[in-house]
């Protein structure tokens, strides 16, 4: 009720209360006075007084009270946040000069403005503080993160001041270098250097740091324990507000393992995995560099292509394991045979290349090549097996045989093919006509391959006579090739090519079959069962699988007694793999097939082998026979060979008998059989049938 009354009375309640109190007081006083018998004039005075008082109060209210009430209301009304307080205006006409209320309003306005500004300043400051606090928190959290990164980093971190004195290092630094922070703080990072990094690297580092503020690269440092390691280092500069360098931050890691892996990969990519020699790629790189240097320094180079002779046979017979070990042994010999600065490479298979740097000329290259050839000729002991191999070597010289790496390789390769073609185990220099010769050879191989199917081969037969009786004892089958364009091609020209190209297997099988068939025909025509047919045999043929079975089959098929077949194998071929050949020849001999060593005396066989070889006859080479008339030495050799053969129970067949004197000499020495142009040339079977001596 009271509150309701207060509200209804409003802000002017004090004035109204005064007016009400004055009226009530006047009424009370009037009533009391009336009670006590006070007469009207007094009552009227009192009432007048009361009315005057009420008027005064009303006037006071109108002139001051309501303004005070407005001021109070203004002061109670809060201004909107962020807004300046509204100006206080009284509802009155402004006096012509400021009165107390004007002063009060002005003072209140100033006070409120000041208060508002103070509040605004405080608020802004509070915001600022809030911002600062947030920023500080952010900085602190970043510093925390950075400190964690710094300490937990797996990479070593070094922070140095502007004078490059270490001011902080992390744990990884201690782990990596072995130095504790106390041992390095205040010192120059130079203390870590192993002294192995070229000074140009440091120069470039300082140049880059000055120009770009960063540098990274590889340098070699030394740990506290003295061990040296390569590290990958990144340095950044930190600049202060003035722009001058205030700090250096270096991050590094040990890259020994990475370098080892890189080196391993490099080695694998550049070296032959079996022998450890340089591989084709590495050789090509080195040769290119060597050629450029040689051109610049006006030096000579020699490139040697080496191909092992008949390595494939060793592989086939003894297995790849043995073959691999032989290659490793050969690689070691090659390395030993040349100087440290020369490059020895394996191109694959049994092909090796040696790059000789700074050779003085053809002679010195030849000397080294000869040394290499002889080194490879020595027998190799692999797991108790004595293996022999020889090499065909091609040589090309820079600059005359090729001014580029490619040309030089091609020339040396061509020379090596030539070395193979002229009979293996020799060395040949590149010459201008070689390419043409090689092309011709390639064509010859293609023609030979075709010759067999095109039936371009025929056999001619040369009689061999019993020296004492003059009776036709045997005939030697000699291969003839009628080339469609070139006419008759000499066996001396195409047999070696057939041997090197592997075609001799098929050709030899055809010869053997044809000779046996011919024997059968003669047998049927003459009824003479003891005529012997001699057939030349290549080493590859003898070594080929199934050769013995092939002989068995032919003898059976043609009903030919084994002793009517004589197989001739040259001395040099026989010596290539004595052990295996002895075994195979033994098997043939057991069957009764006759065996003869062809061109005896021209090879390098040890005479002691003659005792173990399962043979029946020696064929005295015609070079000795030719010399018997004029050369006492040759005569002595013939004499000795015949005597030796007889001592060993062997027959001797002299080939190439061209003169009566030769025949007389051979007869006098007890030679068993004679063959030569003096007696009969090789001829086709039809012609032989007409020969006087033919049965």
Ligand X SMILES: Nc1nc2c(ncn2[C@@H]2O[C@@H]3COP(=O)(O)O[C@H]4[C@@H](O)[C@H](n5cnc6c(=O)[nH]c(N)nc65)O[C@@H]4COP(=O)(O)O[C@H]3[C@H]2O)c(=O)[nH]1
Q: How far is the CB of 690 from ligand X (least distance, A)?
A: 19
Q: How far is the CB of 529 from ligand X (least distance, A)?
A: 23
Q: Which of 658, 670, 687, 689 binds ligand X (CB under 6 A)?
A: 658
Alpha-carbon 451 to chain mean position: 46
Nearer to ligand X, 487 or 492 (CB): 492
Instruction: Specify the stretch interacting with ligand X by CB under 6 A; choose among 15-23, 536-544, 609-617, 686-694.
Output: 536-544
HEC readout, 667-683: HHCCCCEECCCCCCCCE
With binding defined as CB under 6 A, does residue 536 bind ligand X?
yes
Site map (CB under 6 A) of ligand X, residues 465-484, x = contact = -------------xx-----
Instruction: Specify the stretch interacting with ligand X by CB under 6 A; choose among 41-49, 132-140, 260-268, 491-499.
Output: 491-499
Distance between CA atoms of 77 and 371, rounded to whole angstroms? 118
Tokens of 274: 């079996």
Residues that bind ligand X (rule: CB under 6 A) add up to a total of 24
Q: Footprint of ligand X on residues 220-279 (CB under 6 A)? A: none
With binding defined as CB under 6 A, does residue 540 bind ligand X?
no
Tokens of 637: 């050799």
Q: Which of 11, 178, 399, 491 binds ligand X (CB under 6 A)?
A: 491
Distance between CA atoms of 132 and 138, rounded to whole angstroms? 10
- Secondary structure element (H or E) that encloses residue 489, with its range: strand 487-489
Q: Footprint of ligand X on residues 505-534 (CB under 6 A)? A: 508, 511
Nearer to ligand X, 30 or 504 (CB): 504
Mention every residue, 6+ apart, whose C-beta is less than 8 A from residue 324.
274
With binding defined as CB under 6 A, does residue 682 bind ligand X?
yes
Nearer to ligand X, 334 or 642 (CB): 642
Residue for token pair 């086939």? 316
With binding defined as CB under 6 A, does residue 669 bind ligand X?
no
Q: How far is the CB of 621 from ligand X (least distance, A)?
A: 8
Q: How far is the CB of 476 from ligand X (least distance, A)?
A: 6
H helix runs in 319-468, sequence order: 320-337, 362-377, 405-421, 434-453
CA distances from 435 to 100, 185, 417, 448 (A): 131, 73, 10, 20
Per the CB < 8 A criterion, the answer to whether 653 and 645 are in contact is no
With binding defined as CB under 6 A, does residue 217 bind ligand X?
no
- Residue 432 three-state SS: coil
Beta-carbon-side half-sphere exposure of residue 1 (alpha carbons within 13 Å): 0
Nearer to ligand X, 355 or 565 (CB): 565
With binding defined as CB under 6 A, does residue 432 bind ligand X?
no
Q: Which of 65, 85, 323, 656 binds ligand X (CB under 6 A)?
A: 656
Q: Which of 490, 632, 686, 692 binds ligand X (CB under 6 A)?
A: 490
Nearer to ligand X, 397 or 503 (CB): 503
Bond before 339 cis per omega within 30 degrees: no
Q: How far is the CB of 682 from ligand X (least distance, A)?
A: 5
Mention every residue, 6+ apart, whose C-beta is less than 8 A from residue 336.
375
Distance between CA atoms of 387 and 318, rounded to whole angstroms? 10
Distance between CA atoms of 657 and 162, rounded to whole angstroms? 102
With binding defined as CB under 6 A, does residue 588 bind ligand X?
no
Nearer to ligand X, 389 or 536 (CB): 536
With binding defined as CB under 6 A, does residue 182 bind ligand X?
no
Task: Tell me how many degrees the CA angle 148-149-152 measures, rounded to the nearest 5.
Answer: 75
Q: Which of 462, 518, 634, 669 binds ligand X (CB under 6 A)?
A: 462
E strands, 164-268, in order: 166-169, 214-222, 228-239, 245-254
Distance between CA atoms of 18 and 57, rounded to whole angstroms? 7
Nearer to ligand X, 401 or 476 (CB): 476
- Residue 104 three-state SS: helix
Distance between CA atoms of 151 and 156, rounded to whole angstroms? 9
Distance between CA atoms of 585 and 571, rounded to whole angstroms? 13
What's the burial of 255, exposed, middle or buried (CB within 10 Å: 0-12/13-18/19+)?
middle
With binding defined as CB under 6 A, does residue 344 bind ligand X?
no
With binding defined as CB under 6 A, does residue 677 bind ligand X?
yes
With binding defined as CB under 6 A, does residue 603 bind ligand X?
no
Considering just the CA atoms, what is the radius of gyration of the chain in Å? 61
Q: How far is the CB of 410 from ligand X (least distance, A)?
A: 32
Nearer to ligand X, 23 or 678 (CB): 678
Residue for token pair 């039936």? 455
Nearer to ligand X, 25 or 677 (CB): 677
Q: How far is the CB of 594 from ligand X (least distance, A)?
A: 15
With binding defined as CB under 6 A, does residue 652 bind ligand X?
no
CA distances from 629 to 159, 625, 637, 672 (A): 100, 8, 12, 19
Instruction: Specify the stretch interacting with ligand X by CB under 6 A; choose among 144-152, 157-165, 335-343, 649-657.
Output: 649-657
Instruction: Specify the stretch interacting with ligand X by CB under 6 A; choose among 329-337, 414-422, 559-567, 676-684.
Output: 676-684
Q: Which of 112, 282, 538, 634 binds ligand X (CB under 6 A)?
A: 538
Nearer to ligand X, 533 or 560 (CB): 533
Instruction: Specify the stretch interacting with ligand X by CB under 6 A; choose among 75-83, 184-192, 605-613, 674-682.
Output: 674-682
Distance between CA atoms of 160 and 293, rounded to whole angstroms? 45
Q: If we measure between CA atoms, which residue out of 653, 570, 647 comes closest to residue 611?
A: 647
Distance between CA atoms of 166 and 423, rounded to whole angstroms? 74
Distance between CA atoms of 620 and 610, rounded to whole angstroms? 14
Q: How far is the CB of 501 from ligand X (least distance, A)?
A: 13
Q: How far is the CB of 453 from ligand X (least distance, A)?
A: 18
Q: Footprint of ligand X on residues 56-95 (CB under 6 A)? A: none
Site map (CB under 6 A) of ligand X, residues 88-127, x = contact = ----------------------------------------
Query: Given its phi and psi angles, is residue 468 left (phi above 0), alpha (psi -120 to 50 degrees) or beta?
Result: alpha
Distance between CA atoms of 242 and 244, rounded to whole angstroms? 6
Nearer to ligand X, 235 or 512 (CB): 512
HEC readout, 501-531: HCCHHHHHHHHHHHHHHHHHHHHHHHCCCCC
Q: Which of 272, 309, 598, 672 binds ligand X (CB under 6 A)?
A: 598
Site map (CB under 6 A) of ligand X, residues 120-159, x = contact = ----------------------------------------
Instruction: Specify the stretch interacting with ligand X by CB under 6 A; choose among 253-261, 485-493, 542-550, 639-647.
Output: 485-493
Contact residues toward ligand X (CB under 6 A) are: 462, 478-479, 490-492, 495, 508, 511, 536-538, 568, 598-599, 622, 655-658, 675-677, 682
């Amino acid at each position: 009720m009271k509150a309701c009354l207060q509200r209804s009375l409003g802000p002017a309640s004090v004035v109204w209360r005064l007016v009400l109190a004055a009226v009530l007081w006047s009424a009370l006083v009037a009533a009391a006075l009336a009670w006590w018998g006070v007469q009207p004039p007094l009552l009227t005075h009192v009432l007048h007084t009361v009315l005057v008082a009420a008027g005064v109060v009303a006037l006071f209210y109108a002139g001051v009270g309501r303004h005070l009430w407005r001021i109070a209301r203004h002061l109670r009304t809060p201004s909107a946040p962020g807004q300046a307080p509204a100006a206080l205006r009284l509802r009155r006409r402004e006096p012509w000069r400021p009165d107390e209320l004007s002063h009060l309003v002005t003072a209140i306005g100033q006070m409120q403005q000041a208060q508002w500004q103070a509040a605004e300043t405080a608020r802004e400051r509070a915001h600022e503080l809030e911002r600062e606090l947030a920023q500080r928190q952010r900085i602190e959290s970043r510093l925390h993160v950075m400190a964690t990164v710094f300490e937990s980093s797996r990479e070593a971190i070094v922070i140095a001041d502007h004078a490059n004195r270490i001011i902080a290092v992390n744990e990884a630094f201690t782990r990596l270098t072995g130095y504790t922070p106390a041992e390095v703080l205040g010192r120059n990072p130079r203390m870590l250097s192993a002294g192995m990094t070229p000074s140009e690297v440091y120069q470039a580092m300082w140049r880059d740091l000055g120009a770009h503020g960063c540098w990274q690269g590889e340098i070699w440092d030394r740990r506290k324990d003295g061990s040296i390691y390569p590290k990958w280092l990144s340095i950044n500069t930190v600049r202060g507000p003035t722009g001058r360098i205030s700090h250096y931050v270096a991050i590094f890691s040990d890259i020994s393992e990475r370098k080892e892996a890189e080196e391993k990969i490099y080695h694998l990519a550049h070296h032959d995995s079996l022998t450890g020699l340089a591989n084709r790629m590495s050789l090509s790189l080195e040769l290119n560099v060597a050629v450029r240097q040689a051109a610049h320094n006006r030096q000579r180079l020699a490139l040697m292509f080496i191909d092992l002779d008949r390595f494939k046979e060793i592989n086939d017979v003894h297995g790849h394991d043995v073959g691999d070990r032989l290659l490793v042994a050969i690689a070691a010999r090659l390395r030993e045979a040349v100087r440290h600065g020369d490059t020895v490479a394996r191109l694959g298979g049994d092909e090796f290349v040696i790059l000789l740097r700074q050779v003085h000329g053809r002679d010195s290259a030849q000397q080294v090549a000869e040394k290499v050839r002889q080194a490879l000729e020595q027998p190799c002991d692999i797991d108790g097996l004595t293996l022999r191999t020889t090499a065909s070597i091609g040589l090309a010289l820079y600059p005359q045989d090729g001014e580029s790496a490619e040309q030089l390789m091609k020339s040396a390769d061509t020379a090596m093919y030539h070395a193979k073609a002229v009979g293996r185990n020799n060395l040949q220099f590149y010459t201008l006509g070689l390419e043409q010769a090689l092309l011709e050879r390639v064509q010859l191989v293609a023609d030979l391959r075709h010759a067999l199917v095109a039936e371009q081969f025929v056999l001619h037969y040369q009689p061999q006579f019993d020296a004492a009786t003059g009776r036709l004892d045997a005939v030697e089958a000699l291969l003839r090739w009628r080339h469609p364009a070139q006419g008759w091609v000499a066996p001396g020209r195409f047999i070696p090519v057939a041997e090197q190209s592997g075609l001799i297997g098929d050709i030899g099988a055809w010869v053997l079959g044809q000779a046996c068939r011919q024997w059968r025909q003669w047998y049927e025509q003459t009824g003479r069962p003891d005529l012997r047919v001699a057939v030349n045999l290549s080493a590859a043929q003898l070594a080929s699988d199934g050769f013995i079975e092939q002989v068995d089959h032919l003898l059976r098929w043609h009903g030919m007694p084994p002793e009517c077949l004589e197989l001739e194998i040259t001395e040099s071929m026989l010596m290539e793999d004595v052990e295996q050949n002895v075994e195979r020849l033994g098997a043939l001999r057991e069957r009764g097939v006759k065996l003869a060593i062809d061109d005896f005396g021209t090879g390098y066989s040890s005479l002691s082998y003659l005792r173990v070889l399962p043979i029946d006859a020696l064929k005295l080479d015609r070079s000795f026979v030719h010399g018997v008339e004029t050369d006492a030495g040759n005569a002595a050799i013939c004499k000795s060979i015949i005597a030796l053969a007889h001592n060993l129970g062997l027959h001797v067949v002299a080939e190439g008998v061209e003169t009566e004197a030769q025949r007389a000499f051979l007869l006098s020495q007890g030679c068993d059989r004679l063959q030569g142009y003096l007696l009969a040339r090789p001829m086709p079977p039809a012609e032989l049938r007409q020969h006087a001596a033919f049965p």
